[in-house]
Chain A
Amino acid sequence: MLSAAARRELSGLLGGDPLFDDPSHRRVYDADAYAFAGIEPDAIVLPSTPECVERILGWCHRQSIPYVARGAGTGLSGGCLTANGGILIGLSRLNRILDIDPLERVARVEPGVVNAQLNRAAAAHGLSFAPDPSSQNACTVGGNFAENSGGPHTLKNGVTLPHVLGLRLVGERGQRVDLGGRHLASTGADLVGLSVGSEGCCGIAVELLLRLVPLPSAVETFLIVFDELDDAARSVSAMVAAGIVPAAMELIDRVMLRAVEEAFRFGFPLDAGGVLIVEVDGEAQGVAEEAQRLRDICNRSGAREIRQAKDEAERAHLWKARKHSFGAIGRMAPNYATQDGVVPRAMVPEIVRCIAEASERHGIGIGTVIHAGDGNIHPCVLFDDRKPDEVQAALAACGDILRRCIELEGSPSGEHGIGLEKRAFLGHLFGEDDLAAMEEIRAAFDPSGLCNPGKVLPGPGGCGELRATHRQVPQ
Chain B
Amino acid sequence: MMGRRAGALVGPARVHEEGGALRVEASGREEALRLAELCVEERVRFGAGNAYGSELKLDLRPSTGLLDLWPEDLVARFSAGTTIAAADTLLRPWGFRLGAELPMPDEFTLGACYARAENGFSAPAAGSLRERCLGLLAIDGRARLLKAGARVVKNVAGYDLARLHHGAHGAFGVLLDFVMRVESIPEASEFRAWPCAIGQVERELAARRAPRASVDPLQQIWLDPGASEGVGASPDGLLVLAHQGWASSVDAWGRELAGEALMPERIRDWGYANDESGRGCFRIACGPRVWLERWDGWRARLEDEGCRPRLLVDLLGGRHRLLLADARRAGWFFEELGEEGARWVGSAAGAGAQEIALRLKRSLDPHGLLPPLPQR
Identify the interface centre among A179, A184, A436, A442: most chain B CB within 10 Å of its CB.
A184
Which residues from chain B contact A22 at a C-beta distance below 8 Å?
none
> Within 8 Å of chain A (Cβ to Cβ): is B335?
no
**A243 to B185 CA separation, bound complex (whole angstroms):** 8
Chain B minimum-CB-distance residue to A162: B131
**A159 to B209 CA separation, bound complex (whole angstroms):** 23
> Within 8 Å of chain A (Cβ to Cβ): is B327?
no
A161 & B131 in contact (Cβ 8 Å cutoff): yes
B156 & A415 in contact (Cβ 8 Å cutoff): yes
Minimum Cβ distance to chain B for residue A93 (Å): 24
Chain B minimum-CB-distance residue to A237: B72
> Within 8 Å of chain B (Cβ to Cβ): is A466?
no
B214 & A283 in contact (Cβ 8 Å cutoff): yes
> Within 8 Å of chain A (Cβ to Cβ): is B269?
no
Q: Within the complex, which residue of B159, B253, B346 is in contact with A456, where a contact is CB–CB below 8 Å?
A: B159
Given contact pairs A177-B353, A179-B348, A415-B156, A215 touches B211 in the complex (Cβ within 8 A): yes
> Within 8 Å of chain A (Cβ to Cβ): is B363?
yes
A214 & B209 in contact (Cβ 8 Å cutoff): yes
Which residues from chain B contact A433 at a C-beta distance below 8 Å?
144-146
B210 & A214 in contact (Cβ 8 Å cutoff): yes
A residues 336-381 in Cβ contact with B at 8 Å: 342-346, 371, 374-376
Minimum Cβ distance to chain A for residue B62 (Å): 25
**A409 to B50 CA separation, bound complex (whole angstroms):** 33
Interface residues as binary, B248-268 with A (CB distance below 8 Å gives 1, 0 otherwise): 110111000000000000000
B246 & A286 in contact (Cβ 8 Å cutoff): yes
Which residues from chain B contact A412 at a C-beta distance below 8 Å?
157
Which residues from chain B contact A186 at a C-beta distance below 8 Å?
117, 167, 285, 319, 345-347
B360 & A440 in contact (Cβ 8 Å cutoff): yes
> Within 8 Å of chain A (Cβ to Cβ): is B10?
no
Minimum Cβ distance to chain A for residue B51 (Å): 14
A447 & B318 in contact (Cβ 8 Å cutoff): no
Residues in chain B within 8 A of chain A (CB atoms): 70-75, 95, 116-117, 119, 123-124, 127-128, 130-131, 140, 144-148, 150-161, 163-169, 171-172, 183-184, 186-187, 202, 206, 209-211, 214-216, 245-246, 248-249, 251-253, 285, 287, 317-319, 343-350, 352-353, 355-357, 359-360, 363-364, 373-376
Could you show 11 A-B contacts with beta carbons less than 8 Å apart? A177-B352, A177-B355, A182-B346, A184-B123, A191-B348, A198-B159, A282-B215, A284-B214, A344-B152, A375-B154, A441-B159
Chain B minimum-CB-distance residue to A243: B184
**A184 to B123 CA separation, bound complex (whole angstroms):** 8
Given contact pairs A410-B150, A441-B164, A344 touches B156 in the complex (Cβ within 8 A): no
Give chain A's interface residue range (CB within 8 Å of chain B): 35 or more
Q: Within the complex, which residue of A158, A199, A443 is in contact with B127, where a contact is CB–CB below 8 Å?
A: A158
Minimum Cβ distance to chain B for residue A420 (Å): 14
Minimum Cβ distance to chain B for residue A102 (Å): 9
Which residues from chain A contact B360 at a C-beta distance below 8 Å?
189, 440-441, 444
Minimum Cβ distance to chain B for residue A175 (Å): 6
Which residues from chain A contact B70 at a C-beta distance below 8 Å?
344, 346
Which residues from chain B contact A442 at a C-beta distance below 8 Å?
159
A residues 145-190 in Cβ contact with B at 8 Å: 147-148, 150, 154, 158-159, 161-162, 165-166, 169, 171, 175-190
Interface residues as binary, A242-286 with B (CB distance below 8 Å gives 1, 0 otherwise): 010100000000000000000000000000000000000011111
Minimum Cβ distance to chain B for residue A455 (Å): 11
Identify the interface centre among A190, A345, A412: most chain B CB within 10 Å of its CB.
A190
Which residues from chain B contact A184 at a C-beta distance below 8 Å?
119, 123-124, 128, 317-319, 346
Which residues from chain B contact A313 at a C-beta distance below 8 Å?
none
B157 & A126 in contact (Cβ 8 Å cutoff): no
Q: Within the complex, which residue of A181, A189, A191 is in contact with B345, where a contact is CB–CB below 8 Å?
A: A181
Minimum Cβ distance to chain A for residue B202 (Å): 7
> Within 8 Å of chain B (Cβ to Cβ): is A20?
no
**A104 to B245 CA separation, bound complex (whole angstroms):** 25
A187 & B169 in contact (Cβ 8 Å cutoff): yes
Known: A126-B210, A175-B352, A181-B346. 11 other contacts (CB 8 A): A147-B156, A182-B343, A185-B117, A187-B117, A189-B373, A191-B356, A285-B251, A375-B73, A431-B147, A456-B159, A457-B158
In the A-B complex, list the 4 residue pairs whose CB atoms are closest, starting with the nearest. Answer: A193-B163, A286-B249, A177-B352, A188-B347
Given contact pairs A194-B160, A416-B156, A430-B158, A289 touches B346 in the complex (Cβ within 8 A): no
Given contact pairs A344-B151, A411-B152, A189 touches B209 in the complex (Cβ within 8 A): no
**A175 to B150 CA separation, bound complex (whole angstroms):** 34
Chain B minimum-CB-distance residue to A217: B214
A187 & B249 in contact (Cβ 8 Å cutoff): no
B249 & A189 in contact (Cβ 8 Å cutoff): no
**A447 to B318 CA separation, bound complex (whole angstroms):** 35
Which residues from chain A contact B144 at a C-beta distance below 8 Å?
433, 436-437
**A177 to B72 CA separation, bound complex (whole angstroms):** 42
A183 & B317 in contact (Cβ 8 Å cutoff): yes
A194 & B163 in contact (Cβ 8 Å cutoff): yes
B72 & A158 in contact (Cβ 8 Å cutoff): no
Q: Within the complex, which residue of B158, B160, B285, B353 is in contact with A178, where a contact is CB–CB below 8 Å?
A: B353
Identify the interface centre among B140, B206, B363: most chain A CB within 10 Å of its CB.
B363
Identify the interface centre among A186, A217, A409, A442: most chain B CB within 10 Å of its CB.
A186
Which residues from chain B contact A1 at a C-beta distance below 8 Å?
none
Which residues from chain B contact A285 at a C-beta distance below 8 Å?
246, 248-249, 251-253
**A443 to B148 CA separation, bound complex (whole angstroms):** 18
A283 & B249 in contact (Cβ 8 Å cutoff): yes
Given contact pairs A190-B168, A434-B147, A426 touches B352 in the complex (Cβ within 8 A): no
Q: Within the complex, which residue of A147, A290, A343 is in contact with B152, where a contact is CB–CB below 8 Å?
A: A343
A residues 32-55 in Cβ contact with B at 8 Å: none
B353 & A179 in contact (Cβ 8 Å cutoff): yes
B344 & A181 in contact (Cβ 8 Å cutoff): yes
> Within 8 Å of chain B (Cβ to Cβ): is A241?
yes
> Within 8 Å of chain B (Cβ to Cβ): is A92?
no
Given contact pairs A409-B152, A417-B156, A438-B158, A169 touches B352 in the complex (Cβ within 8 A): yes
B211 & A217 in contact (Cβ 8 Å cutoff): yes
A413 & B155 in contact (Cβ 8 Å cutoff): yes
Q: Within the complex, which residue of A158, A187, A415, A426 is in contact with B158, where a contact is CB–CB below 8 Å?
A: A426
Which residues from chain B contact A283 at a C-beta distance below 8 Å?
214-215, 245, 249, 252-253
> Within 8 Å of chain B (Cβ to Cβ): is A197?
yes
Given contact pairs A214-B211, A218-B214, A286-B245, A185 touches B166 in the complex (Cβ within 8 A): yes
> Within 8 Å of chain B (Cβ to Cβ): is A414?
yes
Interface residues as binary, A42-73 with B (CB distance below 8 Å gives 1, 0 otherwise): 00000000000000000000000000000000
Which residues from chain A contact B345 at a C-beta distance below 8 Å?
181, 186
Which residues from chain A contact B171 at a C-beta distance below 8 Å?
189
**A285 to B256 CA separation, bound complex (whole angstroms):** 11
Minimum Cβ distance to chain B for residue A407 (Å): 12
Minimum Cβ distance to chain A for residue B239 (Å): 16
A444 & B359 in contact (Cβ 8 Å cutoff): yes
Which residues from chain A contact B183 at a C-beta distance below 8 Å?
245
Which residues from chain A contact B246 at a C-beta distance below 8 Å?
285-286, 289-290
A residues 98-123 in Cβ contact with B at 8 Å: 103-104
Which residues from chain A contact B164 at a C-beta distance below 8 Å?
189-190, 193-194, 441
> Within 8 Å of chain B (Cβ to Cβ): is A13?
no
